[in-house]
Amino acid sequence: MDHYTRQKEVILKHTPTMSLYLKKLNENEKERALNVFATWELSFRQILGGNNTGQLEADFLTLFAFFDCQDISENLFAAFAAFANTPPLYEEEIKYHITDLGSNFKLRGKDGKWDSDKFRNILANLAQSALIQTWTPSSDPPDSGSHLTLHPLIQDWILLRTDPKTFAQYYVIAAVCISWLLNFCWSLGEPASERMFIGIKGSIQSHIGAHIKQRNSLIGQGNFPVGNFKEQMLTNQAELLFATFMYRSSQYNMARIINDQVIEWQQATLGVRTIYSFF
């Protein structure tokens, strides 16, 4: 119990945004949040020290928090792995940066392809530690692959415990995962592309919504833009694809909002003569 109490103190002391988060809660909610955060922190540290895949499991758990927590598909990460060496729409300099940045998330088997078995083992271990809420080992086409959910409080805890530099890297990787899944779907051509989108359109919209929510939160905290210039460019180019997808999905207002945010960053960073825009 002393160790548990100390863990609560560590969370309060070393999580800069925790006090802001707790201010939004009443006393009962604050105590509950601290209790569950301390429990998960202990489980998280046990994973890190428990086996030779502990760091990889911790990395994936952190990345999961940057998506909509209600339905996270394995396809997001399989697409990232497939495109990591030959990403579309990115200059060579940026390509090498994202390949290095996301090296932990390219689960490849002996054939060089995405290894679903390794991913399922990661999910099983995280579920055993109660760090993911639910997961299913596979689903029917067109959106085949494992799916998982995170409890919203776990998502909050992960985002709060992540330092700004690491937050920036995961924020970028999540955006690239979504954009490369979009690219993969579009590369299939019709009618396969349309069949794929029928199964995943809603979840992609939710993931984009989560990305924009995190972006707005960063802006409100004065922590945007995040990362270095290359990471900002990766996010910027991914968001152009988000605007395209939202427009094709008849989500015109959201497409305009995302596009305007892209333009605002480009004007401030690159200058008006180099603006790329969907509209």
Total residues belonging to the chain: 279
Secondary structure class of 147 (helix, strand, coil): strand
Secondary structure class of 73 (helix, strand, coil): strand
Q: Which residue type occupies 244?
A: T
End-to-end Cα, the chain, rounded Å:
58
CA distance linking residue 120 with residue 30, whole number of Å: 34
Instruction: Kindly report which listed range (79-83, 154-158, 211-215) carries the lowest average pLDDT score.
Output: 79-83
- HEC sequence for 2-53: HHHHHHHHHHHHHCCCHHHHHCCCCHHHHHHHHHHHHHHHHHHHHHHHHCCC
Instruction: Kindly report which listed range (10-24, 36-50, 171-185) carries the lowest average pLDDT score.
Output: 10-24
Q: In a 10 Å sphere around its CB, with 0-12 CB exposed, 13-18 middle and 19+ buried, how is residue 176 labelled?
A: buried
pLDDT at 31 over 80: no
| Whole-number Cα distances in Å, 6 to 35, 38, 40, 150, 192 | 11, 9, 14, 26, 54
Q: Residue 99's pLDDT is what?
A: 46
Bond preceding residue 191 cis, omega within 30 of 0: yes
Q: Residue 87's pLDDT is what?
A: 47
Name the one residue in this structure whose structure tokens are 């689903």: 139
Domain-wise residue ranges, the chain? 51-274
Q: Which of 229, 81, 11 is nearest to 21 (CA)?
A: 11
Q: In a 10 Å sphere around its CB, with 0-12 CB exposed, 13-18 middle and 19+ buried, how is residue 163 labelled?
A: exposed
157 contacts 127 by C-beta, under 8 angstroms: no
Helix (H) or strand (E) holding 234: helix 229-248
Please compute, for residue 162, the number of CA atoms within 13 A of its CA located in the half-sphere on the CB side: 22
CA distance linking residue 1 with residue 45, whole number of Å: 16
pLDDT at 130 over 60: yes
Taking only the tens place, the pLDDT of each residue in 54-100 is 888 888 999 999 999 999 999 888 887 776 555 444 444 444 444 45
Predicted model pTM:
0.81
Largest CA distance in the chain: 61
| Dihedral sign of CA atoms 158, 162, 168, 173 in order | negative
Q: In a 10 Å sphere around its CB, with 0-12 CB exposed, 13-18 middle and 19+ buried, how is residue 51 labelled?
A: exposed
pLDDT cut 90: percent of the chain above it: 19
CA distance linking residue 159 with residue 27, whole number of Å: 21
Q: Residue 90's pLDDT is what?
A: 46
Q: What is the mean pLDDT of the chain?
A: 76
